[in-house]
Homo-oligomer: A and B are copies of this chain.
Amino acid sequence: MARIVQKFGGTSVANLDRIRNVAKRVKAEVDRGNEVAVVVSAMSGVTNQLVDYVSQASPLHDTREYDAVVSSGEQVTAGLLALCLQELGVSARSWMGWQVPIRTDDAHGKARITGVEADEIAKRFKDGQVAVIAGFQGISPQGRITTLGRGGSDTTAVAIAAALGAERCDIFTDVDGVYTTDPRIVAKARKLDKITYEEMLEMASLGAKVLQTRSVELAMNMGVRVQVLSSFEDTPGTLVVDEDEIVEKQVVSGIAYSRDEAKITLMQVRDKPGVAADIFGPLAEASINVDMIVQNVSPDGGSTDLTFTVTRADLKRAVKLLEDRQAELGYRKLVHDAGVVKVSVIGVGMRSHAGVAQSMFRALAGKGINIQVISTSEIKISVLIDEQYTELALRALHTAYGLDAA
């Protein structure tokens, strides 16, 4: 007997037929003698409709009311899945975030879970009852409904798994696992059997939209074994686990990319202490996230070129903000470019292997692709390239690191 948490996303519960299929999957786990808690998202399309209502009602909305409205979608799915389980003869009840309770801070719209009291759910496991929990929502210290941000149901599932001491947290989605890279672009992409938390974190934050980044962080911190698998197929998925569990470490496990990048270069910035703070301070205050930053050594000692990236949605605001401050910041010229893509190779094996970056640069050079910006971390190398080379670069790197399927 094991304790399992299952999470089903919006496409997996898109209509009643699919919810019935989910009920069958849950029942299969119960029939194996397991204790099961299920976390569900809203039926696909519902959350968008609700967000649209809120935007129409009030463009700059009170996020507390946004949460009250938007959280209702998960409530509906939870009730319906409990009913479908009962129809299959499985004892089940729905739980709203405030009923569990899943306690959060009061950062409405993107609240963080502060505690989960799952005792009552665990008690009911003894009577064979399945808990069907509305994902994406919690309750604030003030007793208001909160939501955890887009993809927040993944985080709900991991938090519930941690609170219940579950053996595994299965995230059912519309893909059957985590791939070495995007299979829509690279036909030879392979599904990974296992991936480490750190790698998954990089993959998630770099645009592989399989898991919400925060859910991976939480799983890593709480030691929750997460499995990503398909709700439409009966194949094993990808296990996200601790590095110790992976015996044969790949140097590079996966290649991710993000098109949501825009590059800004400030030419001939005065090269003196404090200038970076003067530039990035105002951007941070305007909630503009800066990702890669590169500053060249100044050739003449007096001025330097500074390049950094922001999301495409933030580009206009960032440019305006910096142009308004040109005199103050003292740069000569601002150039920007939204036609760029960030490509990253990721692998915990990098730590103990030299030459990984060199292989990347050689592979890209071999295809005549110019690297605009480079940034590295312990387990990742990212480069910014012209967007039109995205597919070419991914395929070349996938081959270069020996990831191609046989």
Contact = CB atoms under 8 A, between A and B. Distances in A.
Contacts of A393: none
Contacts of A79: 54, 65-66, 68-69
Interface in A13-37: 16, 19-20
6 residue pairs, one from A and one from B, having the closest CB atoms: A69-B79, A68-B79, A58-B83, A72-B72, A57-B83, A65-B79
Contact of A94 (B68, B75, B84, B93): B68
A50 B65 CA distance: 22
Category for how many chain A residues contact B: 35 or more
A86 B68 contact: no
A229 interface: no
A50 B68 contact: no
Given A84-B58, A86-B58, A50 B76 contact: yes
Given A16-B56, A75-B75, A98-B98, A69 B80 contact: yes
Contact of A143 (B16, B72, B94, B99): B99
Contact of A75 (B20, B66, B69): B69
A272 to B, nearest CB: 46
Interface of A: 16, 19-20, 50, 53-54, 56-58, 61-62, 64-66, 68-69, 71-73, 75-76, 78-80, 82-84, 86-87, 93-94, 96, 98-99, 143-145
Interface residue SS majority, chain A: helix
Residue in A50, A84, A99 whose Cβ sees the most chain B Cβ within 10 Å: A99
B78 A94 contact: no
Given A58-B86, A80-B53, A93 B75 contact: no
A366 B62 CA distance: 65
A144 B75 CA distance: 12
Q: Which of A19, A76, A99 has the most CB of B within 10 A?
A: A76
B93 A16 contact: no
Contacts of A99: 143-144
B83 A62 contact: yes
A76 B84 contact: no
A57 B94 contact: no
Contacts of A71: 75
Contacts of A19: 57
Contacts of A57: 16, 19-20, 80, 83-84, 87
